[in-house]
Structure 1
Amino acid sequence: MTEVQSKATSNDRRALWQIFTAAFIVRVLYILLAHTFKVRPSDDHFEFGWEMGRIGRALATGHGYADPFTGHTGPTAWVPPGYTLLVGGVFRIFGVYSKLSAFVLLTFNSLLSALTAVFCYEIGLRCFNRRVALWSGWLWALYPAAMQYAVRWIWEMTTTTCIFTALFVLTLRMRGVGDQKQYEQTWQQWAAFGLLWGVLAMVNPSPLIMLPVMALYILAAPFFSSTILKVRIGKATLAAVLFLAVIAPWTARNYAVFHRFIPLRDNFGAENYEGNSDWSTGFPWGRTVPLENHQILAEYARMGEPAWAADRAAKANAWIKAHPGRFAKLSMKRAWMYWMGVPKSVEEAGILEYLRLMSFQFLSLCGILGAALAVRRRKPAAWVFLSAFLLLPLPYYLVTVQARFRHTLEPLICILGVYLFQSATHRKTVA
């Protein structure tokens, strides 16, 4: 390694430490100064983690993995256990729905969000240049929209985003993007690939739609030959085994409890019915299981969660089949809102709401244009970026949409937006 390369590596490490530290401190200070650890106690503290908070309470009070809504409704697989077990453990140690528990969980979110800034830096450095890396890392560290879910939401978005971004980094490393020398993928890297995808599946299965894309991108790395392909397939098989090993205990638990195959979660039918039915407008207002509707809650408890969700899935599928035109319009409306923002109710509208939507739309447009530019200029991993933009939103187009669902993509949007403006500045300077 030359002296220049050694200095660059030292500068990178210093920059990463500065970005991470600043990001973490800013987030924790916000939690303390804005008192976001004081969660509103409405609906018996339902906003404290929503279904995950309810299940966490059941775990902490000895009722097992159960009761995602109101009262003791029985076992559940409504959400996978990755983040929910963390909530239950924190409740057990620091108190159910306590301010201290909220602070601990939000601080954990902030730690992962700060780590995501580090991953943004590495992606920018490997795929583009150091200038893009620096701006991407600092933008994620300090831009308010990038930290909102870490400091305000006790939910899995920040964890999902951090793990997915880490997997993107791992994919680039295994492909050799940004390395001066090509190194063959190791067994350890493939093991980490399988384990990380397994952990992500246990937190939020939706990003699994990108698993085949990333795996194929790694398998097709340079220095490709039939012999090397066989070795890589062997390593990929190890990753698959480890992935299944991570999710197998949860799947086995679900089969033992519900006597049916539920790999990760069983709420899709209920969500689909909420998004595609006679009263659906495309907007995500309302809850899948209204807490104030005792009749629906009683039906849910009586039928059992899997049967109740399957019944709603059948109703949703029948409605979609009978109303294909309206389903298409709803899907297009949800696609628009995924990228352009989900408006709040009329009562909540105001100047801040318009500014929020403008910021949301601006970032989406920058990310999309940056992805198009990266593909046009044949930048490394450009098609992986584009695949994420095309595939990750698909379930939300078809079922339901919330602003928070875009968060998994936002590190990539951040990097590509910086690349877009950096390219324009560079072109102007050259001219």
Structure 2
Amino acid sequence: MRIPLPPLRRWYQRLDRWAEAMAADPRFLWKLFFLALAFRVAWVLWHPTVNLVADMLGYHESGLSLLNSGELRVKGRISASRPPVYPLFLYLVYYLFGPGNLLAVRLIQTLMGAAIAVITFHLGRKVVSRKVGVWAGLLYALYPAAWGFNDMVMTETLFTLLLTGGVYYLLEVPRGRYQDAVIAGVLLGLATLTRTVLFQFPLFLAGLYLLFSRDRLKHLPKLAAFAAAFWMVLLPWMARNQRVFGTPLLTTKSGVDLFQYNHNPFSYILNNYSLEDTSYTKGLQGWMLTELERDQLTRDIAVNWIKEHPLLFAFKGVRMQWNFFGVDREYAWWIMAGYWGKAPRWQTAFVLFFFGPWIYLVLPLAIWGMVYAWKRYFHSMKNLLILILYNLAVTFVYYGFSRNRMPLIPLFLVLAGYALTQLPAMLDDLKVPGVLRRPAPAVALSLLAFCLIGWVLEIYVDFGSALGLGFTGFDWGEISK
């Protein structure tokens, strides 16, 4: 007699067969693209008019300044606090569709978001298989926080597009062709000119290969080609800053970023607050200093604090990892700050509870997928993991929010996609006695326990912030003229 399968396993088998059918469907990528696009366009058109808040104001002003004067300016002054690629994108949109046409910006970003879903499929296909690509691409198409970042006038969508495109070619470095190394360097260089977080990645990548690879000398030429292409992309911007500021810097904000959490007492770090106290800056306000002076002053304060408080710095690094893997809350915060105008409370609550908890599903799957794919697919996913590790190291030294994690979501979804293809085997492995004696489940459960501690802390902190903080929308009308 045939024993019927449990309902959940039957449901999983149907989904698995569907994924196999989609993997064989030659039109799947078009279906994926238009599915991702439909959700993103619908989200934008739900509220076609928005009010810029916080960082969006600076990006908007930079785009307008390029249009009006041909220079990147912030608060009227020539600036290097924001790298140039996203302001150039805004300049192009404003030139084609009219100054301040935010709807055009957001709709074009929906196209970028749909393209990222397709690239995510290709990452999964390249690392493991087409079926993993189906799951990874579909999860990104349906990932609500990605819809939110597509909707905002911020760098995340363009940065993610360049990052995932660069990673697609980076997967072949250093074993593939020189062409792959150069294309990866160019795309990740452009990503760095969108958000500067990747500036030291070529050194990090080369250092790991030179330290741990047996073929280090064989790999060196292609690693050098990648690094050369990467930094060649940065040179024009750095030359501009040499001309304007007298030094070939990439940004005048790196010291401020280092300072943001590297000066706080324990209670502030624990509760994810940054102490705003001018005694740390010798009573000086930011407007009293040039960008270079402010950057150097804040960097010096942060470096001295790290030297004087090494244990607190280490705790801050751990706390930032928990922050990095927290709920996707930024979009809800911007609504509270007035992005949708005077939005009803139910809309804010809907966004928070609809966007936020997805990481609770994705991250456990990604952890499980990474651990169980380690031996079989390590070589194909090695550079993907190195990029994630690099970002975690930056988060440890500087700071991290779920916003900083967002561009890495396609990479996590590749790992989660593998977990979905192997879910029954992984669950069966957990049923075998001696779970903690076997490396794979022991490592996965340990990483999950670490994240769980952070999630409990983040829920407590976010709930307290929602009750205790008031947000006021900014008036951006003046700089829109």
Superposition TM-score, scaled by structure 1 size: 0.77
Structure 1 residues 243 and 343: CA distance shift in structure 2, 3 A: closer
Q: In structure 1, which of residues 70, 74, 88 is the aligned counterpart of residue 91 of structure 2? A: 88
* Alpha-carbon distance between aligned partners in 1 of 2:222 and 2:400, rounded to the nearest angstrom: 37
How much has 1:411 moved relative to structure 2? 0.5
Aligned to 1:155, the other structure's residue is in SS state coil
Look up the equivalent residue of 1:419 and give its one-letter code. Y
Whether 2:42 is the aligned partner of 1:29: answer yes
Alignment partner, residue 148 of structure 2: 148
Query: Are the structure 2 counterparts of residues 298 and 327 from structure 1 closer, same or farther at C-alpha, using a change threshold of 3 Å?
Result: closer
Cα distance change of structure 1 residues 324 and 245 upon mapping to structure 2, 3 Å threshold: closer
Q: Where does residue 235 of structure 2 map in the other structure?
A: 248
Question: Any idea what the Cα deviations from partners look like across 1:24-78, whole Å, max 9, x if unmatched?
Answer: 232122211x22x4222xxxx44472322222222223272111xxx42x21111
| 2:299 counterpart residue number | 313
- Whole-Å Cα distance in 1 between the matches of residues 87 and 405 of structure 2? 21
Partner of 1:182: none
Give the direction of change, closer, same or farther, for the CA distance of 1:121–1:288 in structure 2 (3 Å limit): farther
1:336 — aligned with what? Answer: 322
Give the superposed CA RMSD.
4.0
CA distance in 2, matches of 1:212, 1:191: 15
For residues 159 and 335 of structure 1, do their structure 2 counterparts lie closer, same or farther at Cα, with a shift above 3 Å needed? Answer: same
> Residue 37 of structure 2 contacts residue 110 of structure 2 at CA under 8 Å; is this kept in 1?
yes
By how many angstroms is 1:286 displaced?
A: 7.4
Q: Which amino acid aligns with 1:131?
A: K
- 1:213 & 1:108 partners in 2: Cα distance? 33
Cα offsets for 1:356-408 (capped at 9, x unmatched):
54332332222122211211444442433332332212222332222110012
Aligned residues of 1:171 and 1:214 also touching (Cα < 8 A): no
Q: Within 5 Å, give how 1:202-217 maps onto structure 2.
A: 202-212=193-203
1:77-121 Cα distance to aligned partner (Å, 9 max, x none): 111101111113323443443xxx212221222222211111221
- Deviation string 1:281-323 (CA, Å, 9 cap, x unpaired) is 2366679999xxxx99995444310111111111222222223
Equivalent residue, structure 2, for 1:77: 80
Partner of 2:396: 397
Once the two structures are TM-superposed, the CA of residue 23 in structure 1 deviates from its matched residue by 1.4
User: Deviation at 1:354?
Assistant: 5.8
1:62 alignment partner in structure 2 = 69
Instruction: Flag the structure with more relative contact order, 1 or 2, with Cα contacts below 8 A and sequence separation at least 6.
Output: 2
* Greater shift in the superposed pair: 322-331 or 211-220: 211-220
**What is the DSSP-based 3-state SS (H/G/I as helix, E as strand, rest coil) of the residue aligned with 2:148?**
helix
In 2: Cα distance, 1:323 partner to 1:120 partner: 41
Q: Give 1:410 deviation, angstroms.
A: 0.5
1-structure distance, mates of 2:89, 2:200: 25
Q: Give the number of equivalent residue pairs.
A: 392
1:17 aligns with 2:30: yes
Q: What's the secondary structure of 1:110's corresponding residue?
A: helix
CA contact under 8 A between 1:66 and 1:75: conserved in structure 2? yes
Choose the corresponding residue for 1:39, options 18, 25, 50. 50
Structure 2 vs 1, CA of residues 401 and 105 (structure 1 numbering), >3 Å: closer, same or farther? same
Distance 1:112 1:239, change over 3 A: same
Cα 1:22–1:343 shift into 2, 3 Å:
closer
Cα–Cα, structure 1 residues 429 and 17, in superposed 2: closer, same or farther, change >3 Å? Answer: farther
2 CA distance for matches of 1:395 and 1:297?
Answer: 29
**Take 1:14 and 1:214, find their aligned partners in 2: how far apart are those partners?**
36
Q: Which runs of 5+ in 1 are unaligned?
A: 1-7, 177-184
Normalised by the length of structure 2, the TM-score is 0.70
Residue 198 of structure 1 corresponds to which residue in structure 2? 189
CA separation in 2, counterparts of 1:30 and 1:108?
13
Distance 2:275 2:108 in 1: 27
CA distance in 2, matches of 1:308, 1:109: 33
Matched, 1:276 2:287: no
CA contact (8 A) 2:117 2:137 kept: yes
After superposition, residues 31-430 of structure 1 pair within 5 angstroms as 31-32=44-45, 34-35=46-47, 37-40=48-51, 45-47=52-54, 49-62=56-69, 64-67=71-74, 71-72=75-76, 74-97=77-100, 101-150=101-150, 152-173=151-172, 185-212=176-203, 229=218, 237-262=224-249, 264-278=250-264, 281-282=268-269, 299-341=285-327, 353=352, 356-425=355-424
Distance 1:75 1:199, change over 3 A: same
By how many angstroms is 1:272 displaced?
2.2
Q: For the structure 1 residues 403 and 38, does the alpha-carbon distance in structure 2 shift closer, same or farther, using more than 3 Å as the test?
A: same
Provide structure 2 residue ranges, at least 5 long, that are not aligned to the other structure. Answer: 1-20, 337-344, 432-481
Does the residue aligned with 2:414 lie in a helix, a strand or coil?
A: helix
